[in-house]
Chains A and B, each alone.
Chain A
């Protein structure tokens, strides 16, 4: 009997030594959810001393985001199934949010009855910091990209934001014009003031005028009291004028005055108001063509076009598709509390081959739709919209029916992509494609690929 007790005590001491030596936090609870043991790493991660933790309700000690709605240990005790590496955060004794991963197990007594549970948690702060640093290289605000074209935009964004100049953003629908405008605002000194977005194409002209500049009481029937316009609401901040190419000539004149003189007059007003706002405008239209047609004022165009940023469509930066998919999957997992692991390989191929007339917004909608149908595991073909799975790969290439024509088109597409990703440095592009530079030059000529004046060898000084 004594021998049994001694060996049991020795085992316990051995287990305690192991628990004390590991870097993962471990605590155990009894059937009343009170802490019965708390190892050294748990003390270090939570900032709570063992003697303060023992005997206390576990949620008051652990303070994890999952305690209230989705306690991992409660789930394990209820179902008998352990949980491995569930993500959460805890609030430590200093009020810091610490990202952790949690694993659980059931504790049983000598008779096999459940006597409590054990929870192991790992501090992921360092992993999270590294992940953020890595993501930060490809992300500005909500814009995510690793393409060369977007990289160039990301690089100049801090300088654009630091200035107070008017910005004109050009890009097809769904390329993220408003996200870029928000990123500019959030990086600027005006970030603590309002960001007001107005879709100029969504409102009739007369309504848009009163929305932008506001009106005074009695300006028209129904104007019972003064109403401040968006320029007044954005005081000190940024006004984002989306679809600027859609506004009428009359409103263009008023807007020109705001940009030139920084003043405007509300409808029915008698005095000028000062507009302390930065204007960021955007359009999907070709404003130069609009000017030629006489639909857009040239002087307003030049006032808006102080700094121009062109967002490339998604079909011209397909290397971003996997990164964007990962970004959207993580975001929807977080928002909807799901555990979707990503997309299956054939789904990735389909998504890479699609043309995206709706750009990034279209891709986001495809993933959001898949989340409705898929709760866990990987997104499969069945979760994609039929128009995507029904059609064959719609790469923009095929022009002509013959195999030769299609091969040429595919070659041209690959060469263009390689040139763009290498900043039009032919030698690097040739290396990337596994071709000799002479072969590349020959193919560029034969396929009629147009090249910009710049050749990517910008480091060479002009002689």
Chain B
């Protein structure tokens, strides 16, 4: 499966609506088999959603995301784990272990549970 993380300076990008960098990963049997950097427009919501959909990830891990932006992604059927914070590798490690979302890697004020902002996070059983 394909996993995308919105990144900035080695951390999860604070606001997905304007994020410009994406780490795309191919994951098989709980292991990362390929990774590459991609760019996002970071300007308008529609362009952001279109670009992400074109890259084709099944799951997106990102920081804060506005409601309109989240609604736009909902129509693309990409699973979003929003309001995630912290070092990219730590977040990735937690996701691979199936322990995301969790309070230690959530933005302040977020409960670290899935229902927090309408995002339906968590790793799907493969």
B8 x A68 contact (CB < 8 A): yes
Enumerate A34-78 residues with CB–CB distance to B below 8 Å. Answer: 46-49, 52-53, 56-57, 59-65, 67-69
* Residue with the greatest number of chain B CB neighbours at <10 A, chosen from A62, A63, A97: A63
B65 x A95 contact (CB < 8 A): yes
A65 x B18 contact (CB < 8 A): yes
Q: A63-B63, A64-B15 are in contact. Are A69 and B42 (CB under 8 A)?
A: yes
Q: What chain A residues lie within 8 Å of B63 (beta carbons)? A: 60, 63
- The closest CB in chain A to the CB of B21 belongs to A68
19 contacts between A and B (CB under 8 A): A47-B109, A48-B108, A48-B109, A52-B108, A60-B85, A61-B108, A63-B14, A63-B15, A63-B63, A64-B14, A65-B15, A68-B18, A68-B20, A91-B66, A93-B109, A94-B67, A94-B117, A97-B17, A97-B66
Q: What chain B residues lie within 8 Å of A293 (beta carbons)? A: none
A64 to B18, CA, bound (A): 9
Interface size on B, residues (CB 8 A): 26
Chief secondary structure at chain B's binding surface? loop
A316 to chain B, nearest CB (A): 33
Of B43, B107, B118, which is within 8 A of A63 by CB? B107
Binary flags per residue of B22-38, CB closer than 8 Å to A gives 1, else 0: 00000000000000000
A91 to B85, CA, bound (A): 14
Q: What chain B residues lie within 8 Å of A67 (beta carbons)? A: 14-15
A96 to B14, CA, bound (A): 14
Q: Which residues of B contact A (CB under 8 A)?
A: 8, 11, 13-15, 17-20, 42-43, 63-68, 70, 82, 85, 107-110, 117-118
A95 x B70 contact (CB < 8 A): yes
Q: What chain B residues lie within 8 Å of A68 (beta carbons)? A: 8, 13-15, 18-20, 42
Other A-B contacts than A60-B85, A95-B67, 15 sampled, CB-CB below 8 A, are: A48-B109, A56-B108, A57-B85, A60-B63, A60-B107, A62-B14, A63-B14, A63-B64, A63-B107, A68-B8, A68-B13, A68-B14, A68-B15, A91-B64, A335-B43
* Residue with the greatest number of chain A CB neighbours at <10 A, chosen from B20, B63, B65: B63
Of A56, A61, A91, which is within 8 A of B65 by CB? A91
Q: A57-B85, A68-B8, A91-B17 are in contact. Are A49 and B109 (CB under 8 A)?
A: yes
B23 to chain A, nearest CB (A): 15
A59 to B70, CA, bound (A): 20
B109 x A69 contact (CB < 8 A): no
